[in-house]
């Protein structure tokens, strides 16, 4: 048995592990995309098709992890510069860049995207521009865009909170940033996507038809389905069941996550082994 490869936090991994996961076929295309080589901010992988049409090619860098980009800065914009890259292998970086160039046919500029981004210091905001009423401005400011494809223009929401996620029987662990999720529902969705390539057939809730009829009790079923239990290790080193405490409290105390399966899931009734539907 091969040594489980731990993904580094940029989401770069060996090609071989990608191949292993392709056996799960089509529905895992999106999962593959999540592990695809690319650079950029977290939670953007889902948006890569949308971004493909954007002019400045650099937008397509938006899949993969956020952390670890602090060493090298583009256009000297300091630690808050989005385009800071760390010293990941050059080959991997180029791979990401090439993927992106191929995807983006609409951009006419072959100027290196990096340079296009080089606008110098952030421009001073013009009074009253763009023309948006104060109420909306204030509301959107406090409504910090969170997970999914909504970018954070500045990483002002604080540090990222990367925790390892292990699943029993999976060949390697993953790491996720808890800060990008707003609630348990989103975490569950993300984990499901991330681990669906590992015959997660057991880990599903009975009778989910699309999203109709989903209730919180069923969500709990999902997280703690008959064959799967999601647990976390808290600051004291104890293993706790996910979902008991408010979300904020959870992310404050969670150090790592574990999806337990099979016989270790004691006390829960067996369910049908419907294939875990991709939530996309």
Residue 103 C-beta: closest distance to another protein, Å:
14
Closest to another protein by CB, 89 vs 139, is 139
Residue 144 C-beta: closest distance to another protein, Å:
9
Closest to another protein by CB, 209 vs 235, is 209
Closest to another protein by CB, 47 vs 226, is 47
Residue 107 C-beta: closest distance to another protein, Å:
8
- Euclidean distance between CA atoms 120 and 108, whole angstroms: 22
Q: Give the footprint of another protein on this chain (CB under 8 A).
A: 46-47, 49-50, 53-56, 59, 62, 82, 106, 108, 117, 119, 122-123, 125-137, 139-140, 143, 145-146, 148-151, 153, 182-186, 189, 210-217, 219-220, 243, 246-247, 279-280
Closest to another protein by CB, 13 vs 104, is 104
Closest to another protein by CB, 70 vs 106, is 106
Residue 162 C-beta: closest distance to another protein, Å:
22
Residue 211 C-beta: closest distance to another protein, Å:
5
Closest to another protein by CB, 22 vs 154, is 154
Residue 264 C-beta: closest distance to another protein, Å:
22
Q: What is the 3-state secondary structure (H, E, C) of the chain?
A: CCCCCCCCCCCCCCHHHHHHHHHHCHHHHHHHHHHCCCCCCCCCHHHHHHHCCCCCHHHHHCCCCCCCCCCECHHHCHHHCCCCECCCCHHHHHHHHHHHHHHCCCCCCCCCHHHHCCCCCCCCCCCCCCCCCHHHHHHHHHCCCCCCCCCCCCCCCCCCCEEEEEECCCCCCEEEEHHHCCCHHHHHHHHHHHHCCCCHHHCCCCCCECCECCCHHHHHHHHCCCCEEEEEECCCCCEEECCCCCHHHHHHHCCEEEEEEHHHCCCCCCCCCCCCCCCC
């Amino acid at each position: 048995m091969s040594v489980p490869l731990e993904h580094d936090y940029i989401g770069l991994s060996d090609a071989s592990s990608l191949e292993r996961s392709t056996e799960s076929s089509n529905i895992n295309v999106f999962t593959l995309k999540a592990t695809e080589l690319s650079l950029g901010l977290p939670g953007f992988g889902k948006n890569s098709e949308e971004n493909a049409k954007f002019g400045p090619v650099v937008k397509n860098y938006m899949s993969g992890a956020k952390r670890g980009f602090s060493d090298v800065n583009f256009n000297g914009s300091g630690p808050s510069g989005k385009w800071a890259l760390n010293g990941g292998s050059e080959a991997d970086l180029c791979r990401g860049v090439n993927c992106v160039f191929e995807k983006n046919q609409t951009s006419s500029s072959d100027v290196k995207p990096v340079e296009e981004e080089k606008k110098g210091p952030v421009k001073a905001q013009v009074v009253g521009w763009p023309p948006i009423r104060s109420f909306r401005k204030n509301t959107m400011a406090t409504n910090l865009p969170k997970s999914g494809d909504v970018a954070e223009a500045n990483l002002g929401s604080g540090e990222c909170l990367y925790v390892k996620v292990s699943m029993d029987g999976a060949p390697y662990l993953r790491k996720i940033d808890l800060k990008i999720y707003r609630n348990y529902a989103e975490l569950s969705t993300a984990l499901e996507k991330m681990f669906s390539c590992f015959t997660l057939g057991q880990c599903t809730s009975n009778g989910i038809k699309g999203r109709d009829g989903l209730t919180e009790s069923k969500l709990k079923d999902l997280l703690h389905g008959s064959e799967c239990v999601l647990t976390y290790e808290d600051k004291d080193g104890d293993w706790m069941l996910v979902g008991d405490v408010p979300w904020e409290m959870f992310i404050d105390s969670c150090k790592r996550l574990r999806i337990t399966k099979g016989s270790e899931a004691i006390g829960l009734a067996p369910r049908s082994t419907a294939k875990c539907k991709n939530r996309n």
